Structure 1
């Protein structure tokens, strides 16, 4: 497994097109792997996520089974004149040693962009419909319900900092809510996805389960930039 980071040059028109279209970003990401053909039906999972920093920088993160080549992204949405053989415009890390070193009981900062949804039935006998959770409280509950299966536990806040009447008891913040609305390629219908970013602190309870989550993703809409969780040491942002 590999984890890749690419900074997007938001001043370029092609970059703005990528940022406004999850389908275009997905296509650009998948084009980074020469061994993955468009006709492949059983392709390995490639996860990606867009992170916006406080300084208005935008980074694309990619978790993938094979090493990507982002030359086309550098040319279209990066700084091609600044690229060299040593600094091509993106950074790829061997993810396998990090994943193998995850231990039960260790604590980490995490970031996750996900599509928290649930199934509802509007009337008896009608089929269920997938519906997005719209409030931070329900979006957080969606994540908490997936802790055990995901191999992690979101750490509680100290008792004197909990606001139980608002459901604010864990070290996690729900932020950067975005509605991704775009036409579905080859169809008249539009796709509307609620993407939510979670930042918090977790404890590993089942390393194998968490490794699966980190490499397979969590939740729906993985092709549109949702599902990728990353970890950082608790001393880092």
Structure 2
């Protein structure tokens, strides 16, 4: 497995085109792997190509990839990077082996994390109506999606709770009606985006209804509960819309924790 980082040159028209549509960017990402055919359908539980955009500032947008094979991002550098600055030692992106970190994960490890996801649930308005997938729209419900105990157990981690000294609300305020997820847990939600785009194939006109997608980015702290399951989460993704930049969780060392 490999972890790759690429900085978008947002001043270039090519970068603005890629950032305008998750489908266009997905196609560009998948073109980074010469041995991967467009018809290859990923196994839901097997390592796959995952990607995420981190918007640090208007002119600082980072593309992260996790992939079974090492990518070649030459076309992205030419379209949306700094091709004149590329050298053999610095081609315009950075790739490093990801397997050593994955292999080191152990039960009880604590990490910082970032995840861009598509928090959804299924509802029906009447008893005889089919259940419909719909997005969570409020931060409290979006946090609730990730804090779901069953989801965390399947993913191999648990979100850490804040110590009492860091809480704004009283520690005893835990009744469901009054619980404030953002104050009890080491978890924040930001960068809410409502995206709309058409599915289309190269050279074809868009058809059908546009795809609507709500994405958010979670930052927080977690503890590993099952190393094998969290490895699968990190390499296969979490949640829906993985082809559109969702599901990629990355870990970062916590301050003061040596490994």
TM-score by length of 1: 0.96
Looking at structure 2, the residues matched to 52 and 72 of structure 1 have their Cα atoms a distance apart, in angstroms, of 21
Looking at structure 2, the residues matched to 205 and 189 of structure 1 have their Cα atoms a distance apart, in angstroms, of 41
For residue 203 of structure 2, what is the aligned residue in structure 1? none
For residue 166 of structure 2, what is the aligned residue in structure 1? 161
For residue 19 of structure 1, what is the aligned residue in structure 2? 19
Shift of the 227–41 alpha-carbon distance from structure 1 to 2, 3 Å rule, reads closer
Residue 66 of structure 1 deviates from its aligned partner by 0.4
Looking at structure 1, the residues matched to 220 and 41 of structure 2 have their Cα atoms a distance apart, in angstroms, of 35
Determine which of 168, 178, 189 is the counterpart of 2:209: 189
Looking at structure 2, the residues matched to 42 and 216 of structure 1 have their Cα atoms a distance apart, in angstroms, of 9
Q: Deviations over 1:24-66 (max 9, x none)?
A: 1000000000001123345762100000114741000000010
Residue 115 of structure 1 deviates from its aligned partner by 0.2
For residue 210 of structure 1, what is the aligned residue in structure 2? 230
For residue 77 of structure 1, what is the aligned residue in structure 2? 80
CA contact (8 A) 2:2 2:96 kept: yes
Looking at structure 1, the residues matched to 51 and 207 of structure 2 have their Cα atoms a distance apart, in angstroms, of 24
Report matched runs for 1:1-237 at 5 Å: 1-42=1-42, 45-54=48-57, 56-145=59-148, 146-162=151-167, 163=169, 164=173, 165=178, 166-167=180-181, 168-185=183-200, 186-235=206-255
CA contact (8 A) 2:10 2:59 kept: no
Which of the two has higher C-alpha Rg? 2
RMSD: 1.5
Moved over 6 A (4+): none
Q: Which runs of 5+ in 2 are unaligned?
A: 201-205
Q: Deviations over 1:168-198 (max 9, x none)?
A: 2000100000011111225311101100100
Shift of the 158–194 alpha-carbon distance from structure 1 to 2, 3 Å rule, reads same
Residue 160 of structure 1 deviates from its aligned partner by 3.5
TM-score by length of 2: 0.88
How many matched pairs? Answer: 236
Looking at structure 2, the residues matched to 100 and 223 of structure 1 have their Cα atoms a distance apart, in angstroms, of 26
Looking at structure 2, the residues matched to 103 and 32 of structure 1 have their Cα atoms a distance apart, in angstroms, of 32
Residue 130 of structure 1 deviates from its aligned partner by 0.5
CA contact (8 A) 2:9 2:59 kept: no
SS in 1 for 2:102: helix
